[in-house]
Amino acid sequence: MRKGKVLVAQGGGPTAVINQSLVGIVQEARRFANVDRIYGAHHGVSGIIKEDLLDLTQETDQNLELIAETPASAMGSTRDKPDAAYCAEILKVLIAHDIRYFFYIGGNDSSDTIRLVNDFAKKENYEMVGIHIPKTIDNDLMINDHTPGFPSAARFVASAFAGANLDNRALPGVYVGVVMGRHAGFLTAAAAGLRRYDSDGPHLIYLPERNFSMDKFLDDVKTAYGKYGRCIIAASEGIHDESGQAIATKLAKEVERDAHGNVQLSGTGALADLLTDSIKGKLGIKRVRGDTFGYLQRSFLGIVSDVDQREAREVGQKGVQFAMYGGKSGTVTIHRVAEYAVEYRLSALEDVAAKTKVMSDNFIASNSADVTPAFMDYLRPLLGGGLPVWSRVQSPAVPKILKK
């Protein structure tokens, strides 16, 4: 194994378990004699080009375990997308500090970043291994059965809808919850995760994998409301019309884009307000409420899937093992091999980089407004153990005396 330093950085949106991967890398890398130091960059690649690095070798195991439990990127994150000039800057820093192992924890944007940096290093004949460690609540990385961060966010969304369903049962009306997810509907679909009784909501689920039509939506709501006397709706922030235009941006005065060209959809209640206003206006239903889950769903303190924690730690550890024992660059991918067990493989960066996986057709109900039993089978083991239980009153009705 080549002697040299390890550098780890975190990119993209934070998750509840991204620090598990950070700690997995640090703890595993410490065991290798060829690694003299493990550096961490502040705010992803932006910290690298500023040489804003910390010496993570000098963390205690006790603090590392606390950091692992801490939601959101402990080293800070970035939305920067490096171009060639940016990569040249990164490489200068890697060379200057004799960094030979570079781990970047992130989503498909971040995997593309590491691919570019890695390719650039090859051109410069700088011997290094670059490993992408998967992370995204969107669950949209190719090849992976699922991605670290998604199960915990899914648990939050499932719990939120379970509570909203019970709340709405107590005070009936229409409730719309808007969930993160630009192109992939996995997280919105997780709204169904803790349905128990037949009449439990969400009764309608709208995913970006299907075109959204306001007319069909209002028909669906009317039908469900007629059937249940109430209606719970899960809508992805990324729902769009036939032309591909996001419903949320139809309203926005000015559209905000990040460095990757992604339109900003979260951090505003506009879509929920549009949907609830439409229901009130067109269907004449009075009690209509909308919540936008926003940033609560990705870094909530106290809602986490133990399966997710374990796997996020493992992808970090496996990344180091692949780097040291295999010596090749790549992306760590998660593969479901049993019901329920996973294994980790090192896959080619270009198979994941800048690509988006969406929900397969067999996960989406034929009415385009629900998930299938196949999706529930896929989701359930990810939500983790110790899920809260709940019940309904089962008592018989009291015979009426006055109003027989």
Active-site annotation, residues = 138
Among 21, 159, 236, 309, binds a second copy (CB under 8 A): 159
Binding of a second copy at residue 379 (CB under 8 A)? no
* Binding residues for a second copy, total number by CB under 8 A: 90
Q: How many CA atoms lie within 13 A of 296 on its CB side?
A: 14
Q: Which is nearer to a second copy, 73 or 333 (CB)?
A: 73
Q: How far is the CB of 143 from a second copy (least distance, A)?
A: 26
Q: Is 126 helix (H, G, I), strand (E, B) or coil?
A: coil
Six-digit token pair at 326?
């295999």
- CA atoms of 266 and 294, how far apart (whole Å): 6
Among 20, 21, 78, 329, binds a second copy (CB under 8 A): 78
Q: How far is the CB of 400 from a second copy (least distance, A)?
A: 5
Among 75, 184, 192, 323, binds a second copy (CB under 8 A): 75
DSSP state for residue 351 in the 8-state scheme: G
Q: How far is the CB of 145 from a second copy (least distance, A)?
A: 25
Q: Which is nearer to a second copy, 155 or 357 (CB)?
A: 155
Q: Which is nearer to a second copy, 338 or 398 (CB)?
A: 398
Q: Which is nearer to a second copy, 131 or 248 (CB)?
A: 248
* CA 337 to chain centroid: 22
Contacting a second copy within 184-203 (CB under 8 A): 194
Contacting a second copy within 89-118 (CB under 8 A): 92-93, 96-97
Amino acid at 275: L
Kindly indicate which of the ranges 218-226, 238-246, 369-377, 391-399 contains the residues binding a second copy, using the contact rule CB under 8 A: 391-399
Q: Is 333 helix (H, G, I), strand (E, B) or coil?
A: strand
Binding of a second copy at residue 47 (CB under 8 A)? no
Q: How far is the CB of 186 from a second copy (least distance, A)?
A: 20
Amino acid at 358: V
Binding of a second copy at residue 20 (CB under 8 A)? no
Kindly indicate which of the ranges 125-133, 135-143, 291-299, 357-365 contains the residues binding a second copy, using the contact rule CB under 8 A: 291-299
Give which of 332, 349, 330 is closest to 129, Cα–Cα: 330
Kindly indicate which of the ranges 63-71, 110-118, 121-129, 365-373 contains the residues binding a second copy, using the contact rule CB under 8 A: 63-71
Binding of a second copy at residue 270 (CB under 8 A)? yes
Six-digit token pair at 280?
């009130």
Binding of a second copy at residue 276 (CB under 8 A)? yes
Q: What is the DSSP string of 130-192?
A: EEEEE-BTT---SS-SS-TBHHHHHHHHHHHHHHHHHHHHHS-SEEEEEE--SS--HHHHGGG
Give which of 116, 115, 108 is closest to 149, Cα–Cα: 108
Q: Please give the helix or strand (H or E) that residue 65 lies within, else none.
A: helix 61-69
Quick one: CA dihedral 18, 24, 30, 35, positive or negative? negative
Binding of a second copy at residue 294 (CB under 8 A)? yes
Residue count of the chain, please give it. 404
Contacting a second copy within 301-340 (CB under 8 A): 301-303
Contact (Cβ atoms closer than 8 angstroms) between residue 160 and residue 358? no
Q: Which is nearer to a second copy, 198 or 254 (CB)?
A: 254
Binding of a second copy at residue 79 (CB under 8 A)? yes
Q: Phi, psi at residue 30, to the nearest 5°?
A: -60, -25
